[in-house]
Structure 1
Amino acid sequence: MRLNTSVCFGALAVSLLASAQVNAQTSDANAVAATETVTADVIGGKDDEIVVTTTAQKRFENLQNVPLAVQVITPSQLEAQGVRHFQDLGKVAPSLTIRTAEHPVNANVSLRGVGTFAFGIGVEPSVAVTVDGAAVAFQARAFADLPDVAQIEVLRGPQSTLYGKAASAGLIKIMTIQPTDTLHVRANTLATTDSEFGGNFSITGPISETLGYVFSAGYNNWGGNVRNLADGKKANGRETLNTRAKLRWKATPDVTFTLSGNYLNGNTTVGRPFIRMAPNALLRNQPGLTPAVAFPGVTIDEDNQNISNNSPSRTKYWGWGTLLRSEANIGKLNVLSLTSYDRYRLDDYLDHDDTSAPGPFGSNINVGAFKSRLFTQELRLLSPGDEAFRYALGLYYANVGFERPFKRGPAFSPADWEASSGSRQIAGFAQIDWEFLPHLTATAGGRVQNEAIKYTFRDKIAATNFAGDASDSTATYRLGLSYQVTPDVMFFGSYTTGYKGQTYDLTSGFNAARANAGPIRPETSRDKEFGVRTQFFDRRATFNVTYFDTDYTDLQAQSIETVNGTSNFRLTNVGGLNTKGLEFELGARVTRDLSFNGAATYLDATYTSFPAAQCYVLQTAALGCVGTPPSQNLTGTRAVQSPKWKTSAGAEYAPSLGQNLKGVAQVSWQYQSSLYYVARDPQAFQPGFSVFNLGLGVREQDRRWEVTAFVNNLFDKQYFQSLVNSAGNYGNRIGTQALLPRDFRRYGGVRVGVHF
């Protein structure tokens, strides 16, 4: 599906002309990001009170006054926790869990234990991602470094009313640095003991009284923490180049346009070491292909960081996008137009057998590509945020297309197909907040939308072609009450519905039965939340608690579906899931030199109905794999990728050293209790673990420069970011692979930053 270029430029022109006829004022995102450009940290109010801002409700607000479950993450928190890449965000957001895969498209992002486990194009995630207010086409587009972040907001629970159908479990909002009225320069470099190096910089300031700009760029290179003995090269690494430029024009004192463009280019290398292997295992049960022959020189154990692959396993990707933000003011009303266009491509190459075994069974490979194009247009009308009756109204349009050629073989699991998927979405949304009694505010919001989807699938081996389309309309809503007991204490409660759209499962094995079954039904959710937002000690400390209870119906997940007597393992509607728990956030500025922050999530996520789940490899009838075709009943089982407890905490002490210098001591802690990456599979079980990071350095009094030496994973705790049961390739004998996190081993480094 190709997007007509003239339509894109026409929409850009329309949004410019429409906005030019009204007046504008600085928007929420500009206010947030401009402040972050100066401080790159939590915003400090008078007398060192803690003030954190958010745009969760599409307007600029103090976090403590927002009746939503949202966590705001600043650049300094990312640095202290050793987070430089999107896939590591779960270290600072306890409700967020990110499971990596051989390439970003197959990775999974879960909030409160809810995520989408699917490999097909066009299957939207449960957790949406936006950058500067514009949605990304799919999550793989976000799997990159974070070089120019102003702040990141993690909105937990269904966000479909304001943010659409791909946010049924939550939203990650990435805000980047915005133009400022005065010159600011920020630059950071990093080098580590395990050969990672990189740097980023941003320059923001005025060209004239009416023109402001931002230019930022970042480069990072890390060879990886896995060694391929077949060629002597490192694997599990990455190299990324990010650039972004913005130009802001104040057409009049009240009219503002911001045009931005970004470019991304990078590559990753894939290394999945075997950590368990039965001594009598044979690759594809072929005589002579023992572990010693398949992985010469590799010692297989829980600490293994070596592989032996005779074909390169890697990805190459690039993408670019533009965003036009047009802002205006009509009297007291704010008008905002967001027009975006984005393109992205990822080429993937995988040594499918993960060995260097001789012969055809040691030379099975996957080769494919993912291509996406996305155009969006949003129009938004905001009333003043300081009045008793306030509202946000909006219209949204999106047109997205995906393409996927894929080939696998030649020895086993052959595949050779091409697929395309497209969707068109039109939506209208509104939210009203009314303080109908002193300090008591009611919230009512709703969204109506229509979506049309279509697909093509051509199987070159079976010489078959399929095509189809479908459409549906739906509505979601949010109702809530909040009570400001005192200026520093607020209670709130809400009831929210969520929606994830219908889709087709376009993967290997797509056939007439799948085509005739039609699209997978939409997934819906109903969420109840209660919370309290508090501040103490003249607002030098904040403590927030949220209770949530969410039911998901027609859950989309991998299962067994029988159509006209033919059974398929595919993405389908499997039943229901309930997730409930408690979320805590704490921030404290004890003195001007000492501060703490922390967050924790207690999670109970359980399948309420999942009667015909796919069995895990090596599961027997005695372990619950029964029937024809064999399946297991996961009803009542804890959901995958949902640890019961997850915490993140950090502290910083910055005493004066005299002569405008301050010392810096930073410590951070991450804890995650046990979880399963595949339901009930003992080979995909990750025990609980803790990781500590430490940093010591010195900075200039006004933070114009800083030098910090750090050690990440101080106590050298090994854990796995994902586990793969590959016993099916070894005659149903144990063969387990792991994806290693960036800090699988302790490493140190130095960060140097300047900021003026």
Structure 2
Amino acid sequence: MKSFYLTGVAALALIAAPAHAQDNSVGGVVSDQSGVSAGTEPNDTDDATTGDIIVTAQKRSERLQDVPVAISVISGDQLAAKGAMNLEGAQYLVPTLNFRKSGTAINQSLFLRGVGTSTFSIAGEPSISTVVDGVVYSRAGEAFSDLIDIDRIEVLRGPQGTLFGKNTSAGVINIVTKRPGNDFGGFLEGGYYTNGNEYRVRGAVDVPLGENVKSRFTGFYGNYDGNIRNIAHDNDRVNGYEHYGVRGMIVADPTPDLTFTLIADYRKSKDDCCAEVIGTTPTNATASVLPDIRGDKSRTVNQDLVTRSNETSWGVSLQADATLGTQTVTYIGSYREYDNEEIRDGDWLPQAYVGFNQLHDFGPQTSNTFTQELRLTSPSNQFFSYVVGAFYSRAETERTFRRDDVVCTLTPTPTVLTPCSTTGATVTRPTGTAVFGSVFKNLAFFGQGTFNLTDRFRAIAGFRYTSDQLDVFHNRVTTLAGPGINPSFGPFTGKTTNSNWSGKAGLQYDVAPQSVAYATYSRGYKGPAFNVFYNLTATGTNVVEPETADAYEVGLKNTFFGGKLVLNLAAYYAKYHNFQANNPDLVAGVLVTRFTNAGEISTRGGELDLVFRPVPDLSFSGGLAYTDAHIDRFKVPTNGVVTGVVPDGTTLGYAPKWKGSLGADYRIRTGGVVDLTLGAQGSYQSKQLSQLDASAAVRDATTIKSYGLVDLSAGIVDNADRFRVSLQVKNLFDQSFASAITSGGPGGSYRYLIPRDADRYYGITGRVNF
């Protein structure tokens, strides 16, 4: 009954979400349409219409309603209203976007339309590419950094390989940060949230550096104690973080036809996340030291090692845009480094016991990525408009992973839980260290054109030629094999190459002046991989073949009431071949997942996106998605063992059948010094599978139940937008839920990851614009 009630509230609640990003293309770049400095919030008196949303989903600035792709656009103000720090929070604003939380940030994943890649392999890549200011982030973990000073996020659904390349077989997250304003100005914002004492501070300043040179500098700091208590560490909170970083952007226009954009950023993260609570009762004696066993309502662990991640990332990019006659030449070059140290408690117990071993993992990783892109863009107002270009990237990653065990025996064997520190116990300390790495090289040539056959009818055609090379190495040295530690293996080296032609074809027709229909076919591609992880053995050194997708989409984009209402519909079907996925397996008694070609899957469904701004001070936004993503034919391993084969028809993980959001933001003009703001935000999703497994019992136990969330906000704002104070209530109805459920806990128990948003909490934020 409660779930039904929350479903209704989530469907009817008015979401606290300002109107989507409203921008215009100026000089080949996207800038604020409102006319205010980029250092301030858009003025709500702006008379721009919702139908003027500008995106760069096809490598050029275009109206959202003119792009024949299903796209959701989230403005930076929407993210701020939600209190979203990263893409995990953005999932509540985009019905087709789902997020798989993991024990450490490096293993988290995104899913679109039920398709995504979860892998522990250092030589596997995601199905959804994250692009920030034109720069591709090659490692999935780096994509989950803090979303600070964001102009908008464009979520492109379905294969996008023609213009964005490999590893976009499920879609693209295109993030655009705020650009410098012409005048000196900026903002300073601070916030406090309960349920773990979270503090956030961020700010940005625009500094003109010359007549044709402007800059923007952004900084942030955040600290959160966490939402889980750890008994083994004096009941301290865990699952918190400390994040800080800076970003700078300099834009120079030496001539009217030439623009340079230089961006540099640095970020540091220390996360004691994410401790997995034991949500079901073990069948052995460990139950006596595992507290608070209440499924997704558990909020306590008893672990001697605090699971955590330490990350450092930095990067620099240079973009040059030059107008040559009627054409625009764009160059983007970048270099990024991303280092991650993973520390993980793999036994979930406060110490080692007789018969119950201690397992601790330590896995520092370094990576760097170098990219180059060059493209030529024609004007859009001609018979044949096009974008052509070339792209090169080199991504290198190396990891040193150590697993330490404590194993003990005692004669006679005790009948109760007995610590290894007991007098007379024989203790051994198996350990193993593996050093492994990968180098991805990618070269591609691409082009996409639109034939404007008539004023209302257009044909789209595109192609991409991709050449991939992947080199890997692995070497493990084991001292006394133990739980989760195979004997020494290696050195092993592997290499694979592949080339691919992918592309897109479609038709677009203006049914009415403000209604555009389209139908497209897209060929998606994800490059080859290896299953390179700590416990690699000779049987797992085969190449994981490339993944391809054939996708069909039809859509209708409607703009009504002079641009005040946007109502977009899309229906799709996609078939994936050689789907790259994790398959659960036991290695020396420890649950691991092997990266493999799982076989064929398909996804189909329908989507609705809504934005409505009836008057300047009131905006509504929402969406609804139906997704049917499942296994068509799971591939039987070459050894013929069928115990790990997932039955045909099984729903894919993180693919809820129904997901939706609805919302509004209202500003009350008082005529006095300050105005009032009111908002609410709701989202709902039906049940979803957390672990894709051959066992029906495991799938049932790892199914996350349906849930709905409702947030409320209220605030005061200066009538000239010079300051703003907002109060928030998050998860109003205190709806508890898990973001991941995994088998393999002590005594056959199941491990639950409980996100921050699974509890009601409160917050206050203040902002000053200058």
Contact 1:447/1:475 (CA < 8 Å) preserved in 2?
yes
Q: Which amino acid aligns with 2:224?
A: W
Contact 1:183/1:204 (CA < 8 Å) preserved in 2?
yes
Count of paired positions: 701
Contact 2:241/2:273 (CA < 8 Å) preserved in 1?
no
Q: What does residue range 644-655 of structure 1 map to in structure 2 within 5 Å?
A: 644-655=657-668
The alpha-carbon deviation at position 673 of structure 1 amounts to 0.5
Residue matched to 1:465: 491
Name which of 290, 293, 298 aligns with 1:304: 298
The alpha-carbon deviation at position 275 of structure 1 amounts to 4.6
Distance in 1 (alpha carbons) for counterparts of 2:705 and 2:382:
50
Q: Which amino acid aligns with 2:625?
A: T
Residue matched to 1:703: 721
Q: Which amino acid aligns with 1:309?
A: Q
Name which of 537, 547, 564 aligns with 1:540: 564
Contact 1:667/1:694 (CA < 8 Å) preserved in 2?
yes
Query: Judging changes above 3 Å, is the alpha-carbon distance between structure 1 residues 202 and 279 closer, same or farther for their aligned structure 2 residues?
Result: closer
Contact 1:308/1:356 (CA < 8 Å) preserved in 2?
yes
The alpha-carbon deviation at position 380 of structure 1 amounts to 1.0
Contact 1:32/1:53 (CA < 8 Å) preserved in 2?
no
Contact 2:279/2:298 (CA < 8 Å) preserved in 1?
no
Distance in 1 (alpha carbons) for counterparts of 2:381 and 2:39:
25
Q: Secondary structure at the match of 2:563?
A: coil
Unaligned runs of 5+ in 1: 1-23, 283-289, 562-567, 615-625
Contact 1:554/1:574 (CA < 8 Å) preserved in 2?
yes
Asked if 1:724 corresponds to 2:725, the answer is no
The alpha-carbon deviation at position 180 of structure 1 amounts to 2.4
Asked if 1:557 corresponds to 2:557, the answer is no
Query: Judging changes above 3 Å, is the alpha-carbon distance between structure 1 residues 365 and 426 closer, same or farther for their aligned structure 2 residues?
Result: same
* RMSD, aligned α-carbons: 2.4
Residue matched to 1:422: 439
Q: Secondary structure at the match of 1:207?
A: strand
The alpha-carbon deviation at position 302 of structure 1 amounts to 3.9
Residue matched to 2:280: 277
Distance in 2 (alpha carbons) for counterparts of 1:45 and 1:428:
41
Distance in 2 (alpha carbons) for counterparts of 1:158 and 1:499:
8
Q: Which amino acid aligns with 2:178?
A: I
> Which piece of structure 1 moves more, 43-52 or 372-381?
43-52
Unaligned runs of 5+ in 2: 1-24, 408-429, 479-487, 586-591
Contact 2:678/2:713 (CA < 8 Å) preserved in 1?
yes
Residue matched to 1:5: none
> Which piece of structure 1 moves more, 183-192 or 312-321?
183-192
Asked if 1:755 corresponds to 2:751, the answer is no
Q: Secondary structure at the match of 1:277?
A: coil
The alpha-carbon deviation at position 177 of structure 1 amounts to 1.5
Distance in 1 (alpha carbons) for counterparts of 2:750 and 2:180:
49
Distance in 2 (alpha carbons) for counterparts of 1:251 and 1:34:
23
Cα deviation code 1:447-502 (max 9, x no counterpart): 00111110111111215211121211111110011112233111011000000000
The alpha-carbon deviation at position 503 of structure 1 amounts to 0.9
Distance in 1 (alpha carbons) for counterparts of 2:470 and 2:302:
42
Q: Which amino acid aligns with 1:536?
A: F
The alpha-carbon deviation at position 179 of structure 1 amounts to 2.0
The alpha-carbon deviation at position 385 of structure 1 amounts to 2.3
Query: Judging changes above 3 Å, is the alpha-carbon distance between structure 1 residues 41 and 151 closer, same or farther for their aligned structure 2 residues?
Result: farther
Asked if 1:291 corresponds to 2:274, the answer is no
Distance in 1 (alpha carbons) for counterparts of 2:635 and 2:556:
38
TM-score by length of 2: 0.87
Distance in 2 (alpha carbons) for counterparts of 1:415 and 1:442:
58
Q: Which amino acid aligns with 2:127?
A: S
Residue matched to 2:327: 333
Query: Judging changes above 3 Å, is the alpha-carbon distance between structure 1 residues 529 and 38 closer, same or farther for their aligned structure 2 residues?
Result: farther
Name which of 247, 250, 256 aligns with 1:247: 250
The alpha-carbon deviation at position 549 of structure 1 amounts to 0.5
Q: Which amino acid aligns with 1:206?
A: P
The alpha-carbon deviation at position 52 of structure 1 amounts to 1.0
Asked if 1:604 corresponds to 2:628, the answer is yes
Q: Secondary structure at the match of 1:309?
A: coil
Contact 1:150/1:175 (CA < 8 Å) preserved in 2?
yes
Contact 1:273/1:304 (CA < 8 Å) preserved in 2?
no
Q: Secondary structure at the match of 2:90?
A: helix
Query: Judging changes above 3 Å, is the alpha-carbon distance between structure 1 residues 655 and 577 closer, same or farther for their aligned structure 2 residues?
Result: same
Cα deviation code 1:694-716 (max 9, x no counterpart): 00111122323211101000110
Q: Secondary structure at the match of 1:230?
A: helix
Residue matched to 1:509: 535
Q: Which amino acid aligns with 1:352?
A: G
> Which piece of structure 1 moves more, 246-255 or 236-245?
246-255
Distance in 2 (alpha carbons) for counterparts of 1:31 and 1:596:
20
Name which of 313, 321, 324 aligns with 2:318: 324
Query: Judging changes above 3 Å, is the alpha-carbon distance between structure 1 residues 163 and 31 closer, same or farther for their aligned structure 2 residues?
Result: farther
Asked if 1:673 corresponds to 2:673, the answer is no
Q: Secondary structure at the match of 2:79?
A: helix
> Which piece of structure 1 moves more, 494-503 or 304-313?
304-313
The alpha-carbon deviation at position 130 of structure 1 amounts to 0.8
Distance in 2 (alpha carbons) for counterparts of 1:716 and 1:217:
33
Query: Judging changes above 3 Å, is the alpha-carbon distance between structure 1 residues 644 and 378 closer, same or farther for their aligned structure 2 residues?
Result: same
Query: Judging changes above 3 Å, is the alpha-carbon distance between structure 1 residues 415 and 96 closer, same or farther for their aligned structure 2 residues?
Result: farther
Residue matched to 2:670: 657
The alpha-carbon deviation at position 35 of structure 1 amounts to 7.9
Cα deviation code 1:596-650 (max 9, x no counterpart): 1001111010111115489xxxxxxxxxxx9956234421111111000111221
Q: Which amino acid aligns with 2:718?
A: E
Q: Which amino acid aligns with 1:543?
A: L
Contact 1:697/1:706 (CA < 8 Å) preserved in 2?
yes
TM-score by length of 1: 0.89
Q: Which amino acid aligns with 2:398?
A: E
Contact 1:525/1:550 (CA < 8 Å) preserved in 2?
yes
Percent identical residues: 29
Asked if 1:383 corresponds to 2:378, the answer is yes
Q: Which amino acid aligns with 1:504?
A: F
Query: Judging changes above 3 Å, is the alpha-carbon distance between structure 1 residues 367 and 82 closer, same or farther for their aligned structure 2 residues?
Result: same
Q: Secondary structure at the match of 2:226?
A: coil
Cα deviation code 1:361-380 (max 9, x no counterpart): 45320000221110000001
Q: What does residue range 70-469 of structure 1 map to in structure 2 within 5 Å?
A: 70-194=71-195, 195-232=197-234, 233-278=236-281, 280-282=283-285, 290-292=286-288, 294-295=289-290, 298=292, 300-359=294-353, 361=356, 363-411=358-406, 415-461=432-478, 462-469=488-495
Cα deviation code 1:269-327 (max 9, x no counterpart): 13435353336423xxxxxxx322x33x5455542211111122111110110000111
> Which piece of structure 1 moves more, 148-157 or 460-469?
460-469
Distance in 2 (alpha carbons) for counterparts of 1:127 and 1:44:
37
The alpha-carbon deviation at position 166 of structure 1 amounts to 1.2
Distance in 1 (alpha carbons) for counterparts of 2:256 and 2:158:
39
Contact 1:33/1:177 (CA < 8 Å) preserved in 2?
no
Distance in 2 (alpha carbons) for counterparts of 1:543 and 1:403:
46
The alpha-carbon deviation at position 591 of structure 1 amounts to 2.1
Contact 1:44/1:50 (CA < 8 Å) preserved in 2?
no
Distance in 2 (alpha carbons) for counterparts of 1:130 and 1:400:
15
Contact 1:560/1:613 (CA < 8 Å) preserved in 2?
no
Residue matched to 1:581: 605
The alpha-carbon deviation at position 43 of structure 1 amounts to 9.7
Distance in 2 (alpha carbons) for counterparts of 1:275 and 1:389:
60
Distance in 2 (alpha carbons) for counterparts of 1:369 and 1:52:
42
Distance in 1 (alpha carbons) for counterparts of 2:552 and 2:243:
40
Q: Which amino acid aligns with 1:420?
A: G
Query: Judging changes above 3 Å, is the alpha-carbon distance between structure 1 residues 494 and 627 closer, same or farther for their aligned structure 2 residues?
Result: closer
Q: Which amino acid aligns with 1:55?
A: T
Contact 2:399/2:437 (CA < 8 Å) preserved in 1?
yes
> Which piece of structure 1 moves more, 654-663 or 331-340?
654-663
Distance in 1 (alpha carbons) for counterparts of 2:642 and 2:633:
19
> Which piece of structure 1 moves more, 42-51 or 171-180?
42-51
Distance in 1 (alpha carbons) for counterparts of 2:262 and 2:360:
42
Cα deviation code 1:404-452 (max 9, x no counterpart): 1111132479642110100111111001011112210111111001111
Query: Judging changes above 3 Å, is the alpha-carbon distance between structure 1 residues 95 and 42 closer, same or farther for their aligned structure 2 residues?
Result: farther
The alpha-carbon deviation at position 560 of structure 1 amounts to 8.5
